[in-house]
Structure 1
Amino acid sequence: MLDAAVDLLRSEGLPSLTTVRVTREAGIVQSGFYAHFKNPEHLQEELAERTGTLLREHIATWMAAMRASAGRDEAALVASYEEVLGLFRDEKEVVDLFLRFRRTPSALGRVLGHLHTQLRADFFQYLRERAGDPDAIRPHLGTIGVHADTLVAALLGIAEGIVDGRVADLGTAARELAALTHAPLAQLMR
């Protein structure tokens, strides 16, 4: 039923997640819906949890690898970005849900919005760690925050391009993200 809900969300949006529509799409009787979910909101919560868990796990692994590669060569950072972009390519349906519904006032939107906020916090922390002495960077925390927002926007823009089929060359996209990651930070710390 969750797969049927994903298909409906992608093709028709949140209003399509009714018991009638989901069960018809899943090929089961309507009473079968209630064997799994209390109501359509419960379905949204389960769908959000499934989507959020998958993305959280992959992004946490990717961010850990990115942190581990810090201080090494640019190739390690590019490889790290290629990994997450590969995830976006391999999990297009999940990424599409995230991109579409992360700002909606729904159960799905709340979970996915939290994931978006966490991604920004992860980038902010990564940049703070790369910037050096905490006392020296304190006056620049606002700038680092803007840079973290820029990285999230760039990453999600490329994710959208992957989902839409506009971005196929993940290597080039990864190199651009790597350049965007460290160049402004190096300039800030001069």
Structure 2
Amino acid sequence: MLEAAVDLLRSEGLPSLTTVRVTKEAGIVQSGFYAHFKNPEHLQQELAERVGRELREHIATWMAALRASEPGEPALKASYLGILRLFSEQKPLVDLFLRYRRSPSPLGMVLGHLHTQLRADFFQYLRERAGEPDAIRPHLGTIGVHADTLVAALLGVAEGVVDGRIGDLDSAATELAALTHEPLRRLMM
């Protein structure tokens, strides 16, 4: 039933998540819905948890690998290429994240938290790579701007991958790596 809900969300949006529509899409009787969910809001919560959990796991793994990688553009590029391939393989999940991360729905609340966490992860990554804590303290505002820029760039590329506008993941990874490396280079001067 959750797969049917994902299909409806992607094609018709949140208003389509009614018991009638979801059960019809899933090919089951309406009473079958209530064997699994109390109401459509409960379905949204379960869907949000599933989508959020899957994306959180992927992003946490990627961010850990990014933090563990060697400094420099080649390692950054390899790391970005990995997450872009994941985005390409997980288009339905990434599409839901991009569409609903700012929605005031249960789905939006979970995905919005994931967006906030991604920004915090980038901020922490930049702080760690920029140098000694005392030396970078005056630059924390700048690091925050860079973190926001990197999240926006990554999500913009993710949208292009999902929409089919970006097929050359290698070039996209190269650009994201350069965008990440340059602010770090300037901060470390």
Q: Fold-level match, TM-score > 0.5?
A: yes
Kindly provide the amino acid, as one letter, of the partner of residue 17 in structure 1.
L
CA contact (8 A) 1:23 1:33 kept: yes
Deviation at 1:187, TM superposition (A): 1.3
Summarize deviations over 1:169-189 as a string: whole Å, max 9, x none. 000000100000010221133
Residue 47 of structure 1 is matched in structure 2 by 47
TM-score if structure 2 supplies the norm length? 0.98
TM-score if structure 1 supplies the norm length? 0.97
CA contact (8 A) 1:70 1:130 kept: no
Whole-Å Cα distance in 2 between the matches of residues 69 and 83 of structure 1?
13
Residue 179 of structure 1 is matched in structure 2 by 178
Summarize deviations over 1:135-162 as a string: whole Å, max 9, x none. 1111110110010000000000000000
SS at match of 1:34: helix
* 1:1-80 aligned within 5 A: 1-71=1-71, 73-80=72-79
Whole-Å Cα distance in 1 between the matches of residues 37 and 101 of structure 2?
22
- Say how many residue pairs are matched: 189
* 1:54-133 aligned within 5 A: 54-71=54-71, 73-133=72-132
CA contact (8 A) 2:73 2:181 kept: no
Kindly provide the amino acid, as one letter, of the partner of residue 145 in structure 2.
V
Q: CA RMSD in A?
A: 0.8
Whole-Å Cα distance in 2 between the matches of residues 149 and 13 of structure 1?
27
Summarize deviations over 1:3-37 as a string: whole Å, max 9, x none. 10001101110000000110011011111000001
Unpaired runs of at least 5, structure 2: none
Whole-Å Cα distance in 2 between the matches of residues 109 and 42 of structure 1?
14
Whole-Å Cα distance in 2 between the matches of residues 32 and 75 of structure 1?
52
Kindly provide the amino acid, as one letter, of the partner of residue 58 in structure 1.
H
Whole-Å Cα distance in 2 between the matches of residues 139 and 22 of structure 1?
53
Kindly provide the amino acid, as one letter, of the partner of residue 159 in structure 1.
A
CA contact (8 A) 1:119 1:152 kept: yes
